[in-house]
Amino acid sequence: MVNKADEIKKQLDEIRTAIDAQPGRALIFWYNPEARWQRFCGLQFTYLVAAYKDADDYRALRVPGTIIRDSNRIQKILYDSVSCVRIKGGPRNNMVVIPGRLRPDEKAVPAGLDKILEYRPEMRYFFARAREGDFQFLKILCSHLREDPIQMSKVVYPPFYIRTDNLEGIRARLYGEFATMLSREAGYRSDISLDDNFKNLYKSYVVIDPATSMMFFPFSMVEGKGGVFADMDQLPGTCSIPLSALSAGDALFQVNIKVTNENTKLPRGEGIPG
């Protein structure tokens, strides 16, 4: 019978070899444990997984997403390996938020997972045979990093949707490609607002869940109330991106995954607990 510790060490070697094959780059992919049985999965358990060499260490991170508003009050999706926390207990249990959105009576723990790709069972920031979560995370890493990565210049996101059962809590994004797209619809009226046009023409853009009749609108087109979900049927494959692209953003998305250098290097094992 294969010794579990030896199996973990072999998997760690395999992952480090895959990282070495992409110098100066990170290997990334998307994962949600619920994707095995449903198409649309919640943002808080839709993880961006990144594996890369960080100064002297090989590192693997599993980062959950949350919703923020930018300086113009526009909704964005944030994947941040440092500042996000997960609420424990209460009506918002398991929700991932930035600390500023915590309510006074809520408790939270750091969100996500940050592991150094070495076998050292005495330290929780490394891998150990006694922790089943470590073993499962390695299986996921190996299954994705065996793929030939797609060479990209930035993070490629899966399609995200806002789920709602009515149109009252959402509104069209009044800028960008969607505004242009909507204005080209045959039923578009120039004498009413873009938002009113959207509510007249929304059926062209909605995905309806036949089991629940819930409506899913592309996050790139609308904002407002409702849960945010990823379409797991359209996940990008494993990608290779420059390390610099781990901290970047645009109008809809922001990713902040810390990569250290010799001037800002932390003691080994400091980061998000496993």
pLDDT over threshold 60, residue 245: yes
The amino acid occupying position 257 is I
Phi, then psi, of 62 in degrees rounded to 5 = -120, 110
DSSP-assigned states of every residue in 105-174: T-EEEE-SEEEESSB-TT-TTSB-TT-HHHHHHHHHHHHHHTSPPEE-SSPPPPPEEEEESSSTTEEE-S
The span from the CA of 215 to the CA of 232, in Å, is: 16
- Report if residue 271 sits inside a domain: no
For residues 107 and 221, state if they share a domain: no
Question: What's the mean pLDDT in 96-111?
Answer: 93
- Assign 2 a pLDDT band (cuts: 50, 70, 90): low
| Predicted pLDDT at 213 | 87
The span from the CA of 59 to the CA of 126, in Å, is: 9
Q: Between 220 and 35, whose confidence is greater?
A: 220
Give the H/E segment covering residue 146: none
**Owning domain of residue 31:** 4-156+237-256
pLDDT over threshold 90, residue 179: no
Most confident of 38-47, 152-161, 204-213: 152-161
For residues 30 and 112, state if they share a domain: yes
- Report if residue 246 sits inside a domain: yes
| Predicted pLDDT at 266 | 41
| Predicted pLDDT at 189 | 94
For residues 201 and 66, state if they share a domain: no
Domain boundary among 209, 228, 247: 228
For 181-213, the pLDDT digits (tens) are: 888 999 999 999 988 999 999 998 899 988 888
Q: How many domains does the chain have?
A: 2
For residues 79 and 187, state if they share a domain: no
The amino acid occupying position 244 is S
| Predicted pLDDT at 265 | 39
For residues 219 and 84, state if they share a domain: no
Least confident of 19-28, 32-41, 101-110, 158-167: 32-41
For 43-75, the pLDDT digits (tens) are: 989 999 999 999 889 999 999 999 999 888 889
For residues 8 and 110, state if they share a domain: yes
| Predicted pLDDT at 267 | 41
| Predicted pLDDT at 1 | 53
- Report if residue 79 sits inside a domain: yes
Question: What's the mean pLDDT in 94-105?
Answer: 93
pTM: 0.88
User: Angle of helix 194-201 relative to helix 176-183, nearest 10 degrees?
Assistant: 70
The percentage of the chain sitting over the pLDDT mark of 70, rounded to a whole number, equals 93
- Assign 261 a pLDDT band (cuts: 50, 70, 90): low
